[in-house]
Amino acid sequence: MAQPDSAAGLWKVGVVCVLFLAVSACSDGGDKASEDNKPLPGVVAEAVTEKDVSNETTFVGQTRSSQSVDIQARVKGTLLERPFVEGHQVKEGEVLYKIDPSEFEANLLAANATLAKAQASSAEKNLTLSRYQALVDKNSPGVSEAQYDVALSQAKQADAEVSAGKADVANAKLDLGYATITSPLTGRAGISTVDVGNIIGPESGVLVTVLALDPIEVDFSVGERVYLSYMEAKQAGTAKVFTPRIRLADGKLYPHEGELYVVNNEVDPATGTIAIRLKFPNPDRLLLPGQYVTVLLTDEKPEKQIVVPQAAVQQNQSGPFVLVVDGNDQVQSRAIKTAQRVGTGIVVTDGLVPGQTIVVEGIQKVRPGAKVKVTYQNPSGTAENVDDTPAGEATSGAGGTEAGAEKAPGAKSEASSTPAKQSSKPEAEDRGKAQEEGNAQPSSGTDTDAKPASQSAAGKDGKAGDDAEAKQ
């Protein structure tokens, strides 16, 4: 009777195994259905397009004043007034400093008195000379030749003293004029180094600096090779015409274009470069001397080039790359080469072709190989241009479903008039429902199939046991 017990044990083990397999299948089907029902990460993408871009060559430049004057005192005295406002605009001829003029006025009076005395002496000497001259002409024995020569010499000395007196008067007037210091140009005054009440003079150094800010100049240097290449192209008639522009330290482009002002006549032997100076209008006084700027020599004839948003470009150890969305809504990494910036975009010289789709928002939520839910926007990036589906997707459909469907009359016009954003949501819901139903069917099918399998196994084991008993 041990054989029936053994058969019954085997039957129980078989039932347990079948039930375990059934439960495992249900669990796997549920996990798979849970993974399939998990929402895909959403990203914003746009098509790669070409734009008219002017080639640019960049250099590091520095601004300088078109005219700079260091104001210094030419006479010594007590500073009485400083009427200008530091850091503000001053006009040509405007008074900057006033030195006490008392001493210089007195010197002028003394010089005038000395001149008057010299003039009186000169008149007397010349009158005496004319008398001697008349006697000499008459061959009068009363005047000797020696006396005449003395009179002539004294008259010339008196005339010389008059000239010296006039010079002293002129110097005294200059000193008095130097007591009032004016601006020699229209520009912006800096910070004064002296205050009212101090004694200033030529040894005081620079009192203030006045700078002309409009126009303003920008200096930069180019290498010998660049210079020679340009000159050769110019002689051959193939040189490009460039428009000078500058980019400020905050990354913004200066609104005014410049012009070439001067090219230096020698190469700096220490650096092997040639100094070039540009001139830019500066009506708002935005630029100040000493600022570092990026000089942009922009080609006047633009060319078609691929431009993508800077936000779409990422960087790794291999260099810049973007995430490309393929036809299956899968993300792929694509290495690229970049050039100059164009507004909020950047020029891509290699790695992309027009028509490809790149991720511009939500990059941090995906990785290469992952499937995504894509929201498409036009390259302009404006809100009114944002669509949930790319142009033409409604006609191709997902998986070819819509392509094979029969179209009712007038469906084309309705589809063209209906925004893609409105039609994409129902399609997504239908796909989600279909996916849920598809995922649910394998799970329920596993349960129903497992039960008959266990019953069949049990029936076979029971029949085998009856046969064994009959044989015994």
CATH of the domain at 344: 2.40.420.20
C-alpha to C-alpha distances, 220 to 212, 268, 329, 339, nearest whole angstrom:
20, 12, 49, 21
Nearest-angstrom CA–CA distance, 279 and 273 = 20
Q: What is the mean pLDDT of residues 41-69?
A: 88
pLDDT for 39? 82
In a domain, 466, yes or no: no
In a domain, 4, yes or no: no
DSSP 8-state assignment for residue 255: S
Give the total number of structural domains in the chain.
1
Q: What is the mean pLDDT of residues 299-314?
A: 85
In a domain, 121, yes or no: no
In a domain, 318, yes or no: yes
pLDDT for 434? 41
Domain carrying residue 358? 42-54+304-387
pLDDT for 313? 92
In a domain, 262, yes or no: no
Q: What is the mean pLDDT of residues 304-326?
A: 89
pLDDT for 23? 55
302 against 460, higher pLDDT: 302
In a domain, 363, yes or no: yes
159-213 confidence digits (pLDDT tens): 999 999 999 999 999 999 999 999 999 999 999 999 999 999 999 999 999 999 9
130-167 confidence digits (pLDDT tens): 888 888 777 777 777 788 888 889 899 999 999 999 99
pLDDT for 4? 53
Average pLDDT of the chain to the nearest whole number: 77
Lowest mean pLDDT among 22-26, 75-79, 167-171: 22-26
**Predicted confidence (pLDDT) at residue 364 exceeds the cutoff of 80:** yes
pLDDT for 237? 84
pLDDT for 20? 62
Reading the block at residue 160, the tokens are 């010389």
Q: What is the mean pLDDT of residues 232-258?
A: 88
Lowest mean pLDDT among 16-20, 174-178, 415-419: 415-419
Nearest-angstrom CA–CA distance, 57 and 193 = 42
C-alpha to C-alpha distances, 280 to 246, 257, 263, nearest whole angstrom:
9, 7, 15
C-alpha to C-alpha distances, 329 to 109, 150, 243, 398, 427, nearest whole angstrom:
98, 119, 43, 10, 15
pTM score above 0.85: no
85-108 confidence digits (pLDDT tens): 999 999 999 999 999 999 999 999
Q: What is the mean pLDDT of residues 364-368?
A: 85
Q: What is the mean pLDDT of residues 310-337?
A: 89
pLDDT for 14? 64
**Alpha carbon of residue 94 to chain centroid:** 38
In a domain, 144, yes or no: no
φ, ψ (nearest 5 deg) of residue 352 = -135, 155
**Alpha carbon of residue 107 to chain centroid:** 60
DSSP 8-state assignment for residue 135: H
**Predicted confidence (pLDDT) at residue 457 exceeds the cutoff of 90:** no
In a domain, 361, yes or no: yes
Lowest mean pLDDT among 37-41, 123-127, 383-387: 383-387
